[in-house]
Chains A and B, each alone.
Chain A
């Protein structure tokens, strides 16, 4: 043991991994910022009555959920420059691939949530004179949020760990930093330290969602 029995060395190791941790946090945060709204849009398009819209969206969801995220990362990083002639930096490619992938998962969660809202809520809204847009934002969406908190928290926790996939296109995120440190010092301990970081992040995520769940506990449905 080099680190776990030596507080000073441990601290040094942690500090040396801080840039990687920052990169991981960036991937995590930006992926959520983009994939949650995009997921809602995809969910609504998926539910469109028009087959011309819903069928391609269904195919998109199948591909995103049906192929490895690692492959999608490669595809975005290598294929986009090839076909479109624009060079994406590694971080941008990662966030793009993650957002597109997670949006598909979120879309299906949101779709399930939206479909679980009783038709009576729409009918009451219509009879009262609310427009479809008002009905969606004031009546449906707030109730959907409460209903999807649990599956969304699952995805968010998975995302924390999936960020480590970015190391395969050489993004200097936490896991890559740990790996480098591990080979440099011929010790597996840095990998476990990385594990602690992921665990810590997910501890925060868990607390956040349980707070949110209690905030929505003011009504039962």
Chain B
């Protein structure tokens, strides 16, 4: 479903990703953990084309988004093709990034009509069904400023789902939330996992990673250091590196 090979990315002189390779199969839920600054967000942002990689390749659902040219620098597909490929990806941000001037319903409807050219009725039906699913059917006409953080994040998840992404990415979706609101967001993600959605979740919630993810990836210094089944990476035989990290994060 997703294949990233040897992805490198630097900001100025700082090598943030130093050759990351990652494969995600259909229906798989992958959790990415690691210290602050290890490159987790950058990886996710590269997969969603919010950053362009320096070298390596990214293939999504069989379509090449970027690959190395003869000189070893990553070349991206042309605009229209790139847009179509990126449409297979969805991203939920830590701070939601809802559109404040739109009602909850319009946050979900507008991208569908503008990008996917769905009819208003179709987009609205889809939006209402998704709001129902994240438990916010009664908030359709509210504005984001009147919602709690947990509700905003659930709207953001619904908005991402409305675009029918093949792969949904989350960048620390609960970091801005208190424990109770965290649980309501995690339970939505858990429900999506049960529906066999392909997801990549950057998280600091170790329990969540262990319980929900099929695979856990541990990143350090711009590299994937551990990659395996959740039980293995986070279980009793976890590596020294993961042990040290998990120890710090108090799990």
Residues of B near A120 (CB, < 8 A) are: 93, 95, 97
Known A-B contacts A127-B89, A143-B101, A220-B100; the reply to A134 vs B114 at CB < 8 A is yes
Known contacts A123-B50, A129-B163, A138 near B97 by CB under 8 Å: no
Smallest distance from the beta carbon of A148 to chain B beta carbons, Å? 14
Flag if A128 contacts B50 (CB, 8 Å). Answer: no
Query: A157 near B: Cβ within 8 Å?
Result: no
Query: Which residues of the partner chain B approach A138 to less than 8 Å between Cβ atoms?
Result: 110, 114
Residues of B within 8 A of A129 (CB): 83, 86-87, 111, 115-116, 163
**CB-defined contacts of B115 to chain A, threshold 8 Å:** 128-130, 134
The answer to whether A143 touches B100, judged by C-beta atoms less than 8 angstroms apart, is yes
Closest A residue to B145 by beta carbon equals A220
Scoring B residues 84 to 98 as 1 if CB is less than 8 Å from chain A, else 0, what string do you get? 001101110101011
Closest residue of A by beta carbon distance from B98: A124
Q: Name the distance in Å between A4's Cβ and chain B's nearest Cβ.
A: 48
Chain A interface residue bracket vs B:
20 to 34
Among the interface residues B50, B99, B110, which one has the most CB atoms of the partner chain A within 10 A?
Answer: B99
B144 within 8 A of A: yes
| Complexed CA–CA distance, A120 and B50 (Å) | 11
A89 an interface residue at 8 Å Cβ cutoff?
A: no
The yes or no answer to A8 lying at the interface (CB within 8 A) is no
Residues from 80 to 107 in A contacting B, C-beta threshold 8 Å: none
B144 touches A219 (CB 8 A): yes
B48 proximal to A (CB < 8 A): yes
Q: Which residue of B lies closest to A120 (CB)?
A: B97
Is B159 interfacial (CB-CB < 8 Å)?
yes
User: Could you tell me if B163 and A219 are in contact, using CB atoms closer than 8 angstroms?
Assistant: no
* Residue B49, interface by CB 8 Å: yes
Known: A120-B95, A138-B114. A127 touches B50 (CB 8 A): yes
In the complex, whether B143 has a CB less than 8 A from a CB of chain A is yes
Contacts of A143 in B (CB 8 A): 100-101
Q: In the docked arrangement, what's the CA distance between A142 and B114, Å?
A: 16
* 0 or 1 for each of A130-149: is its CB under 8 Å from B? (1 = yes): 11001000110011001000
- In Å, the complex CA distance between A120 and B98 comes to 9
Chain A residues within 8 Å of B91, by CB: 127
B residues 179-235 in Cβ contact with A at 8 Å: none
Contact status B95-A130, CB under 8 Å? no
Residue contact A130 to B111, C-beta cutoff 8 Å: yes
| Contact between chains at B163 and A128 (CB < 8 Å) | yes
A-side contacts of B48, CB under 8 Å: 127
A212→B121 CA distance, assembly (Å): 30
Is the CB–CB distance between B93 and A123 below 8 Å?
yes
B99: A residues at CB distance < 8 A: 121, 124, 139
Which residues of chain A come closer than 8 Å to B160, judged between CB atoms? 127-128
Whole-angstrom distance between the alpha carbons of A218 and B141 in the complex?
A: 12
- Residues B83-138 near A (CB distance < 8 A): 83, 86-87, 89-91, 93, 95, 97-101, 110-111, 114-116
A126 surroundings in chain B (CB, below 8 A): 49-50
Q: Which residue of chain A lies nearest to B49 when distances are taken between CB atoms in the complex?
A: A126
Within 8 A of B (CB), among A143-159: 143, 146
Quick one: closest A residue to B143, CB to CB? A219
| CA–CA, A146 and B115, complex, Å | 25
**Chain A residues in 8 Å Cβ range of B89:** 127
The CA-CA distance from A123 to B99 in the complex, in Å, is: 11
Distance to closest chain B CB from A37 (angstroms): 21
Quick check: A123 and B97 within 8 Å, CB to CB? yes
Extra pairs beyond A126-B49, A129-B86 (5, CB < 8 Å): A126-B50, A129-B83, A129-B163, A139-B99, A146-B101
Residue positions of B touching A, CB distance < 8 A:
48-50, 83, 86-87, 89-91, 93, 95, 97-101, 110-111, 114-116, 143-145, 159-160, 163
What are the nearest 4 A-B pairs in CB distance? A124-B97, A120-B97, A129-B115, A128-B111
